[in-house]
Amino acid sequence: MKQFVPAFASLFAAFVLSAAPLHQAGAAEPHHAKAAKATKTAKASKPAKAKVAKPKAKPARKAPAVAAAAAAKTIDYDGEQVNFAEWQAVRDFGDEMVAKHGFERGEMDALLRQVRFVESAVQLVKPAPPGKPKNWQAYSERFIEPIRINAGVRFWNENAEALARAEATYGVPAEILVGIIGVETVYGRDTGRFRVIDTLTTLAFAYPEAPNRAARAAFFRSELEQALLLARHEKIDPFSLLGSFAGAVGLPQFMPGNILKYGVDFDGDGHIDLRGSTADAIGSVANFLIQHGWNPLDKAPTVLQVSVAPSRAWEPLLERGLSATLRAEELLGAGITPDVPLPGERLYGLVDLQNGAEATEYWAASENFFAITRYNRSYFYAMSVLDLGRAVREARSDALL
């Protein structure tokens, strides 16, 4: 990441972290979308109808000015000023950072005294109340719409070189990378304005009551550790890291630990900057997908629509989890009829997209579809990535005619 003017410049100046291998298993929708439900985009029209600018190939650039401007503004929540340094569990965390990573005790206490408790993060991390039926079409309309498609065409035109290079390097199609970044942050427009240190500390030590509370709190505690290591590694003020209510950062909304694991310096400037470098964001998303099962040799369609038999012998196939484990003949034998022949040399999973009171859609999905679900564990999310990427590609092609 690039240098910021740090309020805590002295906090990490004394430490040098040796180079380390640089998202998230997410909710059913991107974090920024959950935090900004009141801001709604126009209802989608057919993607090909969207008005788009003529493409102009340009080298990868820094993130949109709107994203930089948003980061420069004040944070968009009122955090409660509490002295986290007095909480025993937080002091234990500080002791661990001192013993394990060489942080200085006094400076760690000084940092923790500046952390704010963020009640809105506690509320937003709670699951949605039960009872509301899932509706794929309603979900899709929020992402496959003209504003996002036009922004995607501009992003592709302005970053064509980096997208082509990532596709050649990793084997992930450009439209998939464009789809993910568009769904996550509208190409850098909505990267989040929570201080990551605030939200991660809050969720690590005050996670709301839930059956999985201990596991989730441990996850956020680990991400807080990684965020501090990331800030030290990149020599930035940890409080300059802004992101979602859950601590996800930058154009692709990586959690801090995943920036350290999967982030790529794709623009070659010596820093991994997912907030300011579109090239780094593109390369990092491609690397994440490859590391989570994307098969670059599979050129067939990622999903194929199918019909299901009234016998419902196929229902147990929906319980196979987020992975492709079924041969084509197993699907056919269970009463599943594809709209087009299924390539027989690959494995599939059966995906259901519920539409409220309307008929459910069923799809045979390849391992590449499930690689996208490692980014966000939701069929709706993965399908919207595919649909948005395809819509942007088609709109961009139309503009060339």
User: Looking at residues 336-353, what average pLDDT do you find?
Assistant: 95
Using alpha carbons, select from 112, 111, 86 the residue that is nearest to residue 7. 111
- Which is nearest to 244 in space by CA: 230, 233, 255, 234? 255
Is residue 133 within 8 Å of 357, Cβ to Cβ?
yes
Q: Is the pLDDT of residue 74 over 70?
A: no
Q: Contact 203/256 with Cβ under 8 angstroms?
A: no
Q: Is the pLDDT of residue 270 over 60?
A: yes
CB atoms within 10 A of CB 282: 33
What pLDDT score does 35 carry? Answer: 60
Q: Pick from 108, 377, 107: which is nearest to 224 by CA?
A: 108
Active-site residue identified among 107, 145, 167, 184? 184
Model pLDDT, residue 130: 77
**What integer pLDDT is reported at residue 132 of this predicted model?**
77
Give the model's confidence band at 38: pLDDT under 50 very low, under 70 low, under 90 confident, else very high.
very low
Answer yes or no: are the C-beta atoms of 384 and 44 closer than 8 Å. no
Structure tokens at 30: 């991107």
Question: Of 59-63, 102-106, 287-291, 363-367, which range is least confident?
Answer: 59-63
* Mean pLDDT of the chain, nearest integer: 85
Task: Give dist(CA 142, CA 323) in Å, integer.
Answer: 26
- What is the per-residue pLDDT for 128? 78
Report if pTM > 0.85: no
Question: Do residues 19 and 270 touch, judged by C-beta distance below 8 A?
Answer: no
pLDDT at position 68 over 50: no
Q: In the chain, pLDDT over 90 holds for what percent of residues?
A: 74
Q: 10 Å Cβ neighbour count for 298?
A: 15
* Dist. CA 153–CA 313, nearest whole Å: 43
Our answer to whether residue 184 is catalytic in this structure is yes
* pLDDT tens column, 275-312: 999 999 999 999 999 999 999 999 999 999 999 999 99
The residue ranking higher by pLDDT, 251 or 48, is 251
Length of the chain: 401
At 67 the pLDDT is 42
Task: Show Cβ contacts of residue 83 under 8 Å, excluding neighbours closer than 6 positions.
Answer: 112, 113
Banded pLDDT at 162 (limits 50, 70, 90)? very high
Cα–Cα distances (Å) from 8 to 85, 101, 190, 200, 236, in that order, read: 16, 18, 26, 18, 8
Q: What is d(CA 37, CA 48) in angstroms, rounded to the nearest whole number?
A: 26
Every domain of the chain and the residues it spans:
303-365
316-333 pLDDT, tens digit per residue, is 999 999 999 999 999 999
Higher pLDDT, 117 or 29: 117
Q: Does 24 have pLDDT greater than 50?
A: no
Which pair of tokens denotes residue 236? 């930035």
Q: How far is CA 300 from CA 3, 73, 99, in A?
A: 43, 45, 51
The per-residue pLDDT for 28 is 53
CA–CA gap between residue 391 and residue 149 (Å, rounded): 7
Q: How would you classify the pairing of strands 303-308 and 358-365?
A: antiparallel
3-state SS of the chain? Answer: CCCCCCCCHHHHHCCCCCCCCCCCCCCCCCHHHHHCCCCCCCCCCCHHHCCCCCCCCCCCCECCHHHHHHHHCCCCCCCEECCHHHCHHHHHHHHHHHHHHCCCHHHHHHHHHHCEECHHHHHHCCCCCCCCCCEHHHHHHCCCCHHHHHHHHHHHHHCHHHHHHHHHHHCCCHHHHHHHHHHHHCCCCCCCCEEHHHHHHHHHHCCCCCCCHHHHHHHHHHHHHHHHHHHHHHCCCHHHCEECCCCCECCCCECHHHHHHHCCCCCCCCCCCCCCEHHHHHHHHHHHHHHCCCCCCCCCCCEEEEEECCCCCCHHHHHCCCCCCECHHHHHHCCEEECCCCCCCCCEEEEEEEECCEEEEEEEECHHHHHHHCCCCCHHHHHHHHHHHHHHHHHHHHHHC
Lowest mean pLDDT among 80-94, 192-206, 235-249, 268-282: 80-94
Q: Are 353 and 383 in contact (CB under 8 A)?
A: yes
